[in-house]
Amino acid sequence: MTASFKAAAFAAFASLGLALPAAAAEVNVYTTREPGLIQPLLDAYAEKAGVKVNTVFVKEGLAERVAAEGENSPADILMTVDFGNLIDLVDRGLTQPTTSAAIEAAVPASLRDANGQWTALSLRARVLYVSKDRLPDLKAMTYEDLADPKWKGKVCIRSGQHPYNTSLIAAVIAKDGRDAAKTWLTGLKANLARKASGGDREGARDVLAGLCDVAIGNSYYVGLMRSGKGGPDQQKWAEAINVVLPTFAKSGGTHVNVSGAAVAKNAPNKEQAVKLLEFLVSDEAQGLYAKANFEYPVKPGAPVDPILASFGELKVDDASLAEISKNRKAASALVDEVGFDG
């Protein structure tokens, strides 16, 4: 429809004293999550609410893009794959506080911002992939145990600078202080079977190959591999491991990272943005997260996929994600200081 045609139509409606047809409700989502992982949830909401959901996948530079768009940004929701990037958005003033009784009721306080700037949507536990053949009886372990010399040459992990690992290191700093975290990280480095590299799935591969006995990885990768979604080779990797839910020695909880979202500072459809976030923490959507992505729900009591349930009960560490986030820069600096990726 051309601009002149639109103008003529408007004039015609006005001359007859008629109101223009209401524009269809819509909400715009900027996301760093792979579209395939969240599209089933967004499609479900669109059908349920009769709202058009527009998705823009931004693999890198989400904050920079939104900042550059400024007041004219069409983004309503900013969704990220880890809470570090979510906190960056808040720190750069690109989000706005919202109040929602539904979100507050569904999401534990430690998994959302106290001022309503962001909320977690799903959880991924930082777990251990353990060799079925060589360690069949290993059922429990602490994160601190990973630095024990008895594991020398037996541990695999991806780069220490990856957000999944800087998050874990930041949690150690938050709990025990920088000096203790440095000692722990130095001990963990000494136990590596190979250079810190690759991805979490490659950790399972290397356990199968006998290169390491224990690999540190995210829980949802096991679901993707065991279900066959990663192909037959990855299914074999997953069949070679047991999953142990490690805990911190002091708190007895397992470290988690989250996918999460915030309402953009200049959201043109704020009301719709809040409604979509409320749907994403509902029983229906939390069940879809579990089914589609093998992620743990943030809402207590929501269904967990059977593959994840087979790992045992997840006791989420009670440390505040906001407190952990404050130590991410220190964690990154420690990785370089001890030459973890060297």
pLDDT in tens, the chain (342 residues): 443 433 443 343 344 444 434 457 999 999 998 877 788 899 999 999 999 999 999 988 999 999 999 999 999 999 998 888 898 999 999 999 999 999 999 999 989 998 999 999 999 999 999 999 999 999 999 999 999 999 999 999 999 999 899 999 999 999 999 999 999 999 999 999 999 999 999 999 999 999 999 999 999 999 999 999 999 999 999 999 999 999 999 888 999 999 999 999 999 999 999 999 999 999 999 988 888 789 999 998 888 999 999 999 999 998 888 889 899 999 999 999 999 998
Of 220, 222, 190, 229, give the one whose Cα is nearest residue 207.
222
Provide the residue ranges of all domains of the chain, joining segments of one domain with +. Answer: 22-123+257-304, 125-254+317-337
Give the number of other Cβ atoms within 10 Å of residue 90's Cβ: 21
Tokens of 63: 């904050």
pLDDT of residue 85: 87
**Sequence letter at residue 68:** A
Tokens of 294: 């093998």
pTM of the model: 0.85
- Three-state DSSP class for 1? coil
Tokens of 158: 């991806």
CA 98 to chain centre: 21
- d(CA 107, CA 272) in angstroms, rounded, equals 19
Tokens of 204: 């399972």
**Pair 111, 255: CB distance under 8 Å:** no
* Residues near 111 by beta carbon (within 8 Å), at least 6 away in sequence: 119, 120, 123, 258, 298, 321
pLDDT of residue 252: 85
The dotted CATH code for 22-123+257-304 is 3.40.190.10
- d(CA 153, CA 220) in angstroms, rounded, equals 26
**Pair 28, 76: CB distance under 8 Å:** yes
* Residues near 264 by beta carbon (within 8 Å), at least 6 away in sequence: 30, 66, 73, 75, 76, 77, 78, 94, 95, 96, 273
CA 77 to chain centre: 15
Tokens of 191: 């136990």
- Three-state DSSP class for 53? strand
Q: Which helix (H) or strand (E) holds 290?
A: helix 283-293
The dotted CATH code for 125-254+317-337 is 3.40.190.10
CA 312 to chain centre: 21
221 is in an annotated binding site: yes
pLDDT of residue 23: 57
> Would 22-123+257-304 and 125-254+317-337 be classified into the same CATH topology?
yes
**Pair 273, 280: CB distance under 8 Å:** no
